Amino acid sequence: MPVTPQAPIYAEGSYAQLQVHRAGKIAAFFALICVIWVAVSAACPSARNQLVSGALAAVWAVGAPVWFWYEYYFIYRANDGGLADSFDHFKHGQQTAIAIWAGLAASLGAFAASDFAKAPSTKFECTAELPDGLHAVPPAPAASGAIRQGTAVLTCKQSAA
């Protein structure tokens, strides 16, 4: 039987249709929040933003398949669920939704794992210059290590890693 986009899957005004419409709105809102979060995280990378991005990716990766399972077994197959002869249309809609879900889940996961989302780490490069005749001595049994004669110069530069 051909799939026609105009054919309804659920009866108009049914509780099943209401549940699916509400879940779709919640999922669209959550997806929008995820996209906005990625944009904000890209502008201000930090360890916290990376953690939140990873958590959003995990929730999206688990939440959507749970919804697909729930919709099929508890809404579509319920007594007042899907209309007769709508299974092909339902299955096509699920496959389209899975493609969107997988793309967003992969994008969120890749962003959370990328160096782009991480806060820039700073490293210090230090050098010590000892004047002629200056040397470090090992600690004596009753004293701590010391540098004798003159002044040592310690220079440190901060560099982005």
pLDDT tens digit string along 1-50? 566 778 889 999 999 999 999 999 998 998 888 888 877 777 777 777 77
Instruction: Report domain extents, the chain.
Output: 15-117, 122-160
Average pLDDT, the chain: 78
Q: How far are the Cα atoms of 30, 64, 157 from residue 52, in angstroms, in the given order?
A: 14, 18, 32
- E-strand ranges in the chain read 122-129, 135-137, 146-148, 153-160
Would you call 44 helix, strand, or coil by DSSP?
coil
Does 137 have pLDDT greater than 90? no
pTM of the model: 0.60
Does 135 have pLDDT greater than 80? no
